[in-house]
């Protein structure tokens, strides 16, 4: 990249404002308890219509990064994690606040977020394109196998029940089948409605499932605590504290890389795993749980690193491994961009702009994270009913603005009701999202491969890439089945033991 290109990207394109705006919105959304990074991103999706492709993806990716940090603010100040990943930060962050060190805890969180984001971006740049080059040799059979590999991670995303995960995935595949047949052009499951001829856009599913269902759930929950604005002054760590927390940050960075590249893991798993490892290797184990700076540094480094490294499988292979990257994938699809190996060939400029924007987002986190603390505290202290009503109005107006269609607003509300029911029955969202996003990829390439091979099913095994990916998918499924069978056996033994004790 020459100097002129860098100058143009910085001063003549909207990438820098998009990165700053994304980080600012992400911090605000992350600081509101219950509004997860994926929901914060989903609220922006309708407004990315009409935006330049580079600005849209930078806006969404920066929002993801900012929201992962923003969740630590209420976790430290009011013992209420703004995001799931921030639940690990509550343990020592709130303890430091009780000791009168809230400013220092907030400073460690911000500093660790910058370290994690920087490390994650370096790994994203180094690993994504080489991985995508391998995928350039893909045929229709290979793309089918890739889609099956994406669906195979449902076992690791299913949560407590594999059956519930499969039910959610089947629902997603059924939704993906609505519209026009990819080979024959015939209408399917449209029920005579012309609005369904083009299918149901993933954006409508994402906004309904995540944003609307969360609003419905939050409406029935009690309001969160109020934060004391006087304690919310960020104090950056001293050199002695830097020296103490860097091993914990290194652990968080490595765990964030591994978990970010692992489908189904995400920031929450990375945060708790890094917290446990930091405690294991710390010389001050006894301080964990009682206000240890390392107990903040490790999970905050890990979850912000994940916000960058989770883009590696999404960009190179088109497989979203977390809820947030699934929403980001929806943002790519809105711009008619298909993440995967061809993205680096057909839209290399978009990838370059995304890397640049993510670099700007790290600088933005330092500035916006410091300056946005008072507005975040003000937002947290507003009546919950007002905030929920504002967000609902934002959702409806944003969806209507896409195509000025009340029909699409109705679809979003319908999926909001479906999401509320799924929450009640504890059906996971991500398998359903994978089904919606990957359904067309799997079906269309499966049928194209059969057309090219005159109906020979062995074409999927003759192609070495396809055979390898299907083999990995089989291993994922087998591992998930074995794990769930083991859990059932353990639950059975524990139940039998408790019954024997009662007898």
Coil, strand or helix: which one is 407?
helix
Burial class, 242, CB count within 10 angstroms (exposed 0-12 / middle 13-18 / buried 19+) = middle
Q: Give the Å distances, CA to CA, from 384 to 223, 258, 272, 280.
A: 6, 37, 28, 39
Give phi and psi for 146, each to the nearest 5.
Answer: -65, -45
Q: What angle, 0 to 180 degrees and rounded to 10, lies between the N-to-C axes of helices 162-176 and 464-502?
A: 140
- Nearest-CA neighbor of 206 among 312, 64, 308, 323? 323
Residue 58's pLDDT is 92
CA distance 421 to 417: 6
Q: What pLDDT sits at residue 13? A: 67
Task: Quote the pLDDT of residue 379.
Answer: 66
Quick check: 30 and 61 in contact, CB under 8 A? no
Query: Taking Cα atoms as reference points, which of 373, 302, 372 lies closest to residue 84?
Result: 302
Helix (H, G, I), strand (E, B) or coil at 188: strand
DSSP assignment letter at 211: I
d(CA 428, CA 397): 27
Six token digits for residue 165: 């995960």
Predicted pLDDT of residue 135:
61
Q: Specify the pLDDT at position 366.
A: 87
Q: How far is 365 from 345, CA to CA, in rounded Å? A: 31
Distance from C-alpha of 302 to C-alpha of 309, rounded to nearest angstrom: 10
Global model pTM greater than 0.95: no
- What span, in angstroms and rounded, lies between the C-alpha atoms of 465 and 439? 20
In the numeric block, the tokens 């890094």 are attached to: 274
Of 319, 331, 308, residue with least CA distance to 52: 331
pLDDT the model gives residue 62 = 92
Is residue 253 a contact partner of residue 300, using CB atoms and an 8 Å limit?
Answer: no
55 vs 15: CA distance, rounded Å: 5
E strands present in 287-342:
none
Query: What is the pLDDT, as a whole number, of residue 118?
Result: 92
SS (H, E, C) 443-482: HHHHHHHHHHCCCCCCHHHHCHHHHHHHHHHHHHHHHHHH
Average pLDDT across each block of 10 residues of the chain; the chain has 503 residues. List them in order. 53 79 86 74 80 89 88 76 75 81 84 90 86 71 79 63 81 88 81 83 76 77 60 72 86 85 66 80 78 87 88 81 80 84 82 90 86 69 72 75 77 90 83 79 85 86 86 81 76 74 66
What are the C-alpha distances in Å from 178 to residues 194, 198, 443? 12, 8, 12
In angstroms, rounded to a whole number, what is the distance separating the alpha carbons of residues 366 and 107? 10
State the sign of the Cα–Cα–Cα–Cα dihedral 342, 348, 350, 351. positive
Give me the residues paired with residue 179 across strands. 188
- Residue 230 pLDDT: 55
């Amino acid at each position: 990249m020459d100097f002129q290109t860098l100058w143009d990207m910085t001063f003549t394109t909207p990438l820098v404002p998009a990165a700053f705006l994304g980080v600012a919105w992400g911090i605000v959304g992350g600081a509101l308890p219950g509004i997860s990074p994926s929901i914060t991103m989903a609220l922006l999706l309708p407004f990315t219509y009409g935006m330049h492709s580079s600005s849209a993806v930078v806006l969404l990716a920066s929002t993801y990064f900012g929201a992962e940090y923003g969740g630590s603010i209420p976790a430290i100040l009011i013992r209420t994690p703004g995001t799931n990943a921030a639940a690990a930060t509550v343990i020592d962050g709130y303890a430091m606040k009780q000791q009168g060190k809230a400013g220092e805890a907030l400073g460690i969180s911000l500093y660790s977020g910058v370290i994690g984001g920087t490390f994650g971006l370096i790994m994203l740049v180094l690993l994504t394109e080489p991985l995508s080059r391998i995928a350039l040799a893909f045929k229709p059979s290979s793309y089918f196998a890739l889609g099956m590999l994406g669906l195979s991670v449902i076992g690791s995303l299913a949560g407590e029940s594999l059956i519930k995960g499969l039910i959610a995935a089947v629902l997603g595949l059924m939704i993906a089948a609505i519209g026009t047949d990819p080979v024959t052009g015939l209408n399917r499951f449209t029920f005579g409605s012309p609005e369904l001829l083009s299918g149901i856009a993933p954006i409508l599913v994402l906004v309904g499932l995540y944003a609307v269902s969360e609003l419905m759930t939050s409406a029935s929950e009690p309001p969160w605590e109020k934060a004391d604005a006087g304690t919310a002054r960020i104090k950056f760590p001293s050199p002695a504290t830097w020296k103490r927390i860097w091993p914990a940050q290194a652990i968080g960075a490595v765990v964030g890389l591994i978990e970010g590249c692992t489908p189904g893991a995400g920031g929450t798993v990375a945060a708790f795993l890094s917290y446990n490892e930091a405690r294991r290797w710390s010389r001050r184990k006894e301080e964990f749980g009682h206000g240890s700076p390392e107990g903040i540094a490790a999970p905050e480094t890990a979850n912000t690193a994940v916000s960058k490294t989770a883009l590696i499988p999404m960009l190179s292979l088109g497989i979203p491994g977390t809820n947030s990257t699934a929403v980001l994938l929806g943002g790519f699809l809105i711009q008619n961009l298909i993440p995967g190996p061809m993205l680096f060939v057909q839209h290399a400029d978009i990838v370059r702009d995304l890397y640049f924007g993510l670099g700007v987002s790290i600088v933005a986190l330092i500035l916006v994270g410091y300056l946005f603390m008072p507005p975040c505290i003000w937002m947290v202290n507003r009546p919950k009913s007002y905030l929920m009503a504002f967000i609902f109005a934002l959702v409806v107006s944003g969806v209507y603005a896409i195509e000025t269609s009340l029909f699409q607003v109705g679809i979003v509300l319908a999926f909001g009701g479906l999401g509320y029911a799924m929450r009640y029955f504890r059906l996971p969202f991500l398998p359903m999202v994978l089904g919606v996003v990957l359904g067309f990829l799997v079906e269309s390439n499966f049928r194209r491969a059969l057309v090219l091979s005159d109906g020979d099913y062995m074409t999927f095994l003759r192609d070495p890439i396809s055979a390898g990916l299907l083999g990995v998918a089989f291993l994922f499924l087998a591992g998930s089945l074995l794990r769930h069978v083991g859990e059932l056996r353990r639950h059975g033994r524990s139940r039998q033991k408790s019954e024997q004790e009662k007898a």
